[in-house]
């Protein structure tokens, strides 16, 4: 679990609590069933109160074959009584044993844009941000392996983000950034 309390000099304060529970069940010592349950609570207060609470349920099953591995799962998220369904899949295959493997996958999640995350990235933000989630979907593929004693990996991907936090300079006497 993780707990934090953050305050600034303008009477804004934020509390956060993140709890993760994870378990793995092995079948035939090769196939893994993973389950992750996560709660992420944030309460922000300045002149008004805001809260952003996320819940995640992430089951996945990984099958290991002779020359391939396949992971099939989902990331089911709930935020403000709205459900989001994200993929959590990956397939890899050994093309040349220990020299070249190819992989492809898709994953997604909610990224919280709270006062702590935003001010860590840009400490000059205003004290009244609108906290919300960014919705990510990531699709990728590539190759990996070992050649002449050196490990290598090459990957290409595409990531789509909805409600991404951006920073705009404001016109106040003390220059700061609005989110």
Q: Tell me how far apart the alpha carbons of residues 138 and 18 are, in angstroms, rounded to a whole number.
A: 23
Q: What is the pLDDT of residue 15?
A: 94
- List pLDDT tens digits, range 136-154: 999 999 999 998 889 999 9
What's the pLDDT score for residue 8? 83
| pLDDT at site 126 | 83
Q: What pLDDT does residue 127 have?
A: 80
Tell me the three-class secondary structure of 13-50, residue by residue. EEEEEEEEEEEEEEECCCEEEEEEEEEEEEEEECCCEE
CA distance 68 to 64: 6
Q: For residue range 161-175, what is the model confidence (pLDDT) as tens digits?
A: 999 998 988 887 778
Q: Kindly give, in sequence order, each residue whose CB lies less than 8 Å from that of residue 17, ignoring residues fewer than 6 positions away.
A: 1, 2, 3, 39, 40, 41
pLDDT-flagged residues of the chain (< 50):
none
Q: How much is the pLDDT for 48?
A: 85
CA angle 31, 35, 41 (to 5 degrees): 160
**pTM confidence score:** 0.85
Pairing label, strands 31-45, 49-64: antiparallel
Give the pLDDT confidence score for residue 94 in this predicted structure: 93
**Residues 109-132: b if buried by 16+ CB within 10 A, e if exposed:** bbebbbbbbbbeeeeebbbebebb
């Amino acid at each position: 679990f993780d707990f934090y309390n953050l305050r600034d000099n303008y009477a804004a304060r934020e509390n956060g609590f993140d709890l993760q529970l994870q378990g793995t069940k092995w079948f035939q010592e090769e196939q893994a069933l993973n389950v992750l349950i996560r709660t992420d609570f944030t309460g922000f207060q300045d002149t008004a109160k805001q809260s952003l609470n996320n819940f995640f349920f992430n089951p996945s099953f990984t099958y290991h074959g002779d020359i391939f591995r396949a992971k099939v799962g989902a990331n089911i998220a709930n935020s403000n009584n709205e459900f989001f369904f994200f993929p959590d899949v990956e397939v890899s295959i050994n093309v040349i044993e220990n020299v070249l493997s190819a992989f492809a996958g898709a994953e997604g999640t909610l990224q919280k844009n709270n006062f702590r995350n935003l001010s860590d990235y840009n400490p000059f933000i205003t004290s009244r941000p609108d906290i919300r989630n960014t919705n990510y979907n990531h699709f990728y593929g590539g190759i990996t392996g070992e050649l002449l004693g050196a490990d290598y990996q090459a990957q290409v991907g595409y990531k789509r983000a909805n409600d991404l936090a951006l920073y705009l300079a404001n016109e106040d006497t003390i220059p700061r950034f609005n989110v």
